Structure 1
């Protein structure tokens, strides 16, 4: 109950928060919680304070009290704030609990439904999101955003027919929806109907990022139809639009690589490694090098959990005093307390609704940059380095939409530059960590599957599945390979660069 005294106190809390006086606000809230231990507004504020301070034990106590009666959260803005807060701080289970027990007055709200589904997707509870969408079909049919969400879920689960149908519905209502255009192109070989929809989307215009997404989708479409000249033209246009948004600094990138190589020496690593004994697996490599296939293979092995592509490593590093400056401690030989970071890493994945197993398979390709950090935190970790023909990597990357953080992907010269830096780092890591790093050729894996998985299995001390078994893997896929990885093992993507030999020009002579 919000008594006049409580209302006045909460107004004071709000004033302090909006005028930059959080300490006074928190102090008053801690007094209020003793008088009003189940008040949802007080609890919401205190959860926010505890999460921001990484005081997770306190946060969980407040969350449990709040979610004992989640139906009491009847204010839409409070509900949306809580969902955003839980997602931001990786409290996926808490978000899912709230989303699963939404108050009756909020169930028919499209914005609330979208937030619930977003939370369920992040929590890897796709079946829950599907059920909520099915229960509110009238709301979904009136919202292109919710139809897009339904299509995304279907695509992640491998139901590409349903996904394509919904993406077409979205594009019929919003012809210029670049996200739907980009996603539908990933759901299999592009049909004439989809090509027409993509061309219609392009005609709608939009900002540079939207144009880039649609041009790259058209690049994929024309490639599927065998018109490689048109495909390359659209890929080039898409990447040019992306260049308008983000710039790549090769000098800074090389300086970072130089620093990492210089900092990580065997004596320094040995001096400050943690005593953690978990044999987590990290699959690294250039983007589009076969990391999703490698993860799919391991996803159905007992005790392994397919962790996907997450910022878990960076999240865990935030629990050290040093944070991103940890290499300075490495160089100085100053000890680092890795316990909290290792616990945070494990907890990050334990928050997922489908978490199981004891060992995590982390498949962020660009962790090739962080192999040293990985081995400081988890000395027993196993590193699988997926290698692919650099020309195939370059073409595949050039045709793909990436975030602004991967600005190098917009230019062939920069892609090959980063490939060279990746090679430098992996050579260094292989020399430093020796038998804990396994190089796996994508070409060899798809052409002689059994021999390669036997090699990986020996490296990990596990019996790995047959080619037929991995097609039945139940884990959802969020990467650009979501369609390819569900097809039978094949060599269709090997030497794909030959379709664009003329456009690759001088790089063919250098890298073939």
Structure 2
């Protein structure tokens, strides 16, 4: 039984005047987990009714002291929830001075470090907690969460499997284990763990969603649809499931689906969920050629998303253009041929980068994985260094040894994602901002920039519900600003790195497929193979929204979809340079 269940049962026995039974039940809990003040309160009442005055006074004193401690801890956690880190930290240290290494306070302190983006301290605290409090399952759960948040997926998997023999972990930790397996592209074990959680009735709608996502990734679309529909049956309000169906090109919404969506948008109050419902309803109306109704739903959903995550600009791109005007003098020595040839694919999202990745990854010498965030993580860490410099990443202040260490860190990160082929693709659209960092760490890296017709790209972005990180896409003027910044920065990078960035045009690929593919492989110093022309037969997992398209031959239908909505896109189209 869990502590709350023991406390409830002991209290029931107390109310029935079964004092010795209640005492026998509550004492082991107090010995193993004295932090539960309710247990001390019950013990005090037992002693009082047994007329054990001295024990009653001692238990009452413990109850009052621990109840106060827990109230302070609750207060600190509330500060953390409100992102008030300083008062939360003050209370945490106050409590640690009273009870050294108290495991719940250490969990709190680790979360404060995470909120402050101090990942080194975050992980150090959770590691210390499991070493000191090695019988407390909450310490293990917190460390598993820390390993996930710091992207140490292999260590998470190993630690989880070791920990299950020591403590009883929360189902949430198993869900992080499943997610870690996804990150390591081990979809079999990811599926098994989500299925296990489903069998335990742990958030069944959520588990069906995740199982559907895995089936979509590996190309089992009909099974994915079945899981999404199960999720909707379990939770008719679940916007993510409807949006996932909308994002499947092979699924057509039924009239019953449409009726359910129209009902749900009138009753759901959660903004994010409601936005996804509106996005899905827009797709349903589009399938019925109801373009005016579809755009209205898109406008509502984007407005909701913008209210949740407004687009905030910064001066990073301008600093790149002003302060990075030539190659870095401290760039890392190029990788040897015995290591790996890195190919970085950048673009605006929804521009065809997944298709380019699929074509390249169909070659027998090329590995690919998913949209990695490691370059961006390195960039953020460098930007946060306490060094006064306007130069992005403080590049001019970093030693070659420091940079070489970052290059090794990146190579270590991708190592478990590789099958030891000589080429590795890192396809991450947002890395267009970090080309200087990439070329400093890996001077011989291939950079491929995928560009698509601006109007088609803009429309595809505006109608897509992103999970996170694309706040510019929810407003037409913001979207135009972001796209213009992308084109200006790419022009700058071509000046800094002439002949080192290969631009491929999506429309050229569609209209002149063989010629464009041949030129791409020539740039990568690879001899094109037949499988690359037949990329749609490649059964590798694809984790992006374009997973369906890249499993089909080239099609041209989406090139002019935006024209159905042109009269609504004036603020966007007028601002695109």
Report the TM-score when normalising by structure 2. Answer: 0.71
Match of 1:227? 290
SS in 1 for 2:322: helix
Match of 1:116? 177
- Residues 436-485 of structure 1: per-residue CA shift (max 9 Å, x gap): 11111111112222111111101100134546532233332222222222
Query: How do 1:160-239 and structure 2 match up within 5 A?
Result: 160-193=221-254, 194-239=257-302
Query: How do 1:52-201 and structure 2 match up within 5 A?
Result: 76-99=137-160, 103=164, 110-134=171-195, 138-139=199-200, 143-193=204-254, 194-201=257-264
Contact 2:481 2:575 in 1 (8 A): no
Q: Does 1:315 align with 2:315?
A: no
Match of 1:289? 351
Match of 2:316? 256
SS in 2 for 1:495: helix
- Residues 166-225 of structure 1: per-residue CA shift (max 9 Å, x gap): 111111111111221222211224423344443344244122222211111222222233
**Matching residue within 329, 333, 350 for 1:271:** 329
Query: How do 1:312-461 and structure 2 match up within 5 A?
Result: 312-317=374-379, 323=385, 328=390, 333-336=396-399, 337-352=402-417, 356-403=420-467, 405-461=469-525
**Bigger mean CA deviation after superposition, 328-337 or 121-130:** 328-337
Distance 1:136 1:407 in 2: 32
Give the 3 Å change call, closer, same or farther, for CA 418–271 of structure 1 in structure 2.
Answer: same
Q: Does 1:240 align with 2:303?
A: yes
CA shift at 1:142, angstroms?
7.4
Structure of higher RCO (CA pairs closer than 8 Å, 6+ residues apart)? 1
SS in 2 for 1:435: coil
Which of structures 1 and 2 has the bigger CA Rg?
2
Match of 1:12? none
Give the 3 Å change call, closer, same or farther, for CA 149–78 of structure 1 in structure 2.
Answer: farther
Distance 2:294 2:386 in 1: 40
CA shift at 1:322, angstroms?
7.0
SS in 2 for 1:280: strand
Contact 1:171 1:197 in 2 (8 A): no
Distance 1:100 1:201 in 2: 41
SS in 1 for 2:499: helix
Unaligned stretches of 5+ residues in structure 1:
1-5, 9-14, 30-40, 67-72
Report the TM-score when normalising by structure 1. Answer: 0.80
CA shift at 1:261, angstroms?
0.6
Query: How do 1:467-482 and structure 2 match up within 5 A?
Result: 469-482=534-547
Count the aligned residue pairs.
Answer: 486
Contact 2:509 2:516 in 1 (8 A): yes
- Residues 369-400 of structure 1: per-residue CA shift (max 9 Å, x gap): 11112111111111111111111011100101
Contact 2:484 2:576 in 1 (8 A): no
Match of 1:34? none
SS in 2 for 1:474: coil
SS in 1 for 2:311: coil
- Residues 303-333 of structure 1: per-residue CA shift (max 9 Å, x gap): 4332422220133346769749796457894
